[in-house]
Amino acid sequence: MIAVTLQRNKCIGCNYCFEIAPDMFRMSTKDGKSILVNGEDKRGFATVRVHDEYEDKANQCKEVCPVKIIKVHQCKVKK
Ligand code: SF4
């Protein structure tokens, strides 16, 4: 599993993440900013855990985001 994090308040609404991964991101019709689908919000940072198969797309979004507010981490495996 990987964790994807979005610092939503800094989003400039460029749409790039949504164009790459529409199953992971949506654009708000209210404020034009990106929304992390099923993201859990904590102090302005939305986080969602997704399967490894989404890692490439998540990393593409991270790379393309002009304000660098998308982060991708490997989830720690509980032993
Ligand atoms: S790529 Fe970054 S700035 Fe652009 S909509 Fe997505 S989160 Fe917002």
Per-residue pLDDT of 34-62, as tens digits, reads 999 999 999 999 999 999 999 999 999 99
User: What pLDDT does 51 receive?
Assistant: 94
Q: How far is the CA of 54 from the centre of ligand 1 (A)?
A: 17
Mean pLDDT of the chain: 95
28 lines ligand 1 (CB under 6 A): no
Residue 9's alpha-carbon distances to 15, 27, 55, 78, in angstroms, are: 15, 13, 23, 31
Q: Which of 9, 31, 34, 48 to mutate to test the pocket of ligand 1 (most atoms within 8 A of CB)?
A: 34
Query: Right CATH number for 2-74 from 1.10.8.60, 3.65.10.10, 3.30.70.20, 3.60.21.10?
Result: 3.30.70.20
Give the rounded percent of residues in the chain with a pLDDT score beyond 90.
94
Pairing mode of beta strands 34-36, 40-42 = unpaired
Residues 42-72: b if buried by 16+ CB within 10 A, e if exposed? eeebbbbebeeebeebbebbbeebeeebbeb
65 lines ligand 1 (CB under 6 A): yes
